[in-house]
Chains A and B, each alone.
Chain A
């Protein structure tokens, strides 16, 4: 019954597309009770087990219980032998006794965490029909070295590593649609320029260094174009650069505004961006071919940092009074909902590819940390362990 309901929910969510997310009611998205006490581990298998459990919890679909009757159970073993990890894993519906999932894996013990990410997403898919985000990554800016550099971690906040060592100022990282490249702004060559890093090779290429400002770059869903802010013709506006031919097109034409933060619609046909043409920074939509921008925010003193998610919704930060909060907006109906709550400033949101979670900054007393918000519940978790020193800014969730 539960599974049928979940499947029905999944189908409903899928078939109604963009409008589904906001309409989802609390009861339908309550986490399923999951019993993992039957999963036994030894050696590095314990790292696998812990990672698997944490990933299942962070997915938002499950609540781990140690007593009482669960709806689902995960059983199996993770054993370390001679530098290899052998995993056997099964998932059952406790009520119907139906076996939804059963697989065996073997890989070098050093890959225990990656393996756990993969198994977690397979279990999530089998039990909920949804794509998991356990294997995705988050790129961010950190200042622990004394300079702002790019860092990457896994979606569960582990495996944090430094990506740039520019010893300069790095800003605004964004992923390519294939998650193989990262575009960002760096003052490496004195001026703010846009660079592209290929993760596998580590190669870095400067792709925009026009006179004046080169910033807030975002690669189009087709992977071939770049939207960015340039000021080479004066007032900073939004441009589109063809990455192969280098051809540049000016998208916005206002000469009296500061414009920034273009973010592409999932189909690549429109963009949302920030402009202060009406006095305060607000969100506007514009067609990929140009034309007149349409203002889509009217509430809040400022509306900034838009991120158009794969689910069709735009996450952004709104200023109410002196405080910033993360909101989600339906660009068709312009209905919006505040996602964050509590004290401090919540800013710079980025959607996870599951269309459910959002990573954002949370600043209290000038200390900036990253939080993951769940748009279907009030759950909020710190991305990085508290032991990680430094402030963290401008997170971007990988699209896969």
Chain B
């Protein structure tokens, strides 16, 4: 009940923001605009992305390892989806929309610095920000799972900004349900 109210409030806010603050596209309100924080104008990280699950985890997941999309990258200690990264999420939404019974696990990752437990929470915030953006694009939240790896699964080794940047990421793993 609480969550529905929050979602409603978020929707109203997003609508209000978009009707005044952003360009309308053909066909009226673009679903993606729901994922923009009305305060900061940034995507991801705000209250509206805190939408919880209305459903349990899927019982049967058959993974689709051959389906690959680009990783979404993040700034240091940030959970905001940068505007440069939005197209990557939109491509994922298109894929889910155009395929039957496909869901996605958004994996949140961090760079090697800092507390393991805190990084688990930070990685989850990143995954949730991407999830919220997908929901904003009209994807059903029940088919978007989040999975934080914290700093446990780096893909780039090295202790410099170039490695850290690649490791602060959200990855997509697709499944059939």
Q: A interface vs B, CB < 8 Å?
A: 148, 169, 171-172, 185, 190-192, 209-213, 215-216, 229, 231-236, 255-256, 258-261, 274, 276, 280-281, 302, 304-305, 317, 319, 347-348, 366, 393-394
Contacts and interface: CB of A to CB of B under 8 A. Distances in A.
B79 interface: yes
Q: Which of B49, B56, B152 has the most CB of A within 10 A?
A: B152
B167 interface: no
B161 interface: no
A348 B114 CA distance: 10
Contact of B120 (A260, A276, A317, A348): A260
Contact of A171 (B56, B128, B152): B152
Contact of B116 (A172, A190, A212, A366): A172
A209 B53 CA distance: 13
Contacts of B3: 233
Contacts of A276: 77, 118, 122
A233 B128 contact: no
Interface string B95-132: 00000000000000000001111101110110010000
Contact of B128 (A172, A231, A281, A393): A231
Nearest 3 CB-CB pairs, A to B?
A234-B50, A304-B115, A258-B121
Interface residues of B, number: 35
Nearest to B125: A258
A172 B116 CA distance: 8
Q: Which of B45, B50, B77, B118 has the most CB of A within 10 A?
A: B118
B152 A148 contact: yes
B55 interface: yes
A235 B52 CA distance: 8
A213 B117 CA distance: 11
Contacts of A171: 116-117, 120, 150, 152
Given A211-B53, A258-B79, A236 B124 contact: yes
A284 B159 CA distance: 30
B77 A280 contact: yes
B152 A234 contact: no
Given A148-B152, A235-B49, A304-B118, 6 more contacts: A171-B116, A213-B121, A234-B128, A235-B125, A256-B46, A348-B115
30 contacts: A169-B152, A169-B153, A171-B117, A171-B150, A172-B116, A185-B120, A192-B148, A210-B53, A211-B52, A211-B56, A212-B52, A212-B124, A213-B121, A215-B121, A231-B128, A232-B52, A232-B53, A234-B52, A236-B121, A236-B124, A236-B125, A258-B121, A274-B115, A274-B118, A274-B121, A281-B118, A304-B114, A304-B118, A317-B115, A348-B116
A211 B79 contact: no
A216 B117 CA distance: 6
Interface in B43-90: 45-47, 49-53, 55-57, 61, 77, 79
Nearest to B2: A233
Contacts of A169: 149, 152-153
Q: Is the interface of B mostly helix, strand, loop or mixed?
A: mixed
Contacts, number: 121
Contacts of A261: 115, 117-118
Contacts of B122: 258, 276
Interface in B119-177: 120-122, 124-125, 128, 145-150, 152-153, 159
B117 A212 contact: no
Contacts of B45: 256
A213 B116 contact: no
A48 to B, nearest CB: 38
B53 to A, nearest CB: 4
A234 B120 contact: no
Contacts of B57: 191, 209, 211
A385 B117 CA distance: 27
B125 A366 contact: no
A234 B118 contact: no
B152 A231 contact: no
A8 to B, nearest CB: 40
B5 to A, nearest CB: 13
Contacts of B152: 148, 169, 171
Contacts of A255: 47, 50
Contacts of B118: 258, 260-261, 274, 276, 281, 304-305
Nearest to A231: B124
Contacts of B116: 171-172, 348, 393-394
Contacts of A281: 114-115, 118
Interface string B5-19: 000000000000000
Q: Which of B56, B114, B115, B152 has the most CB of A within 10 A?
A: B115
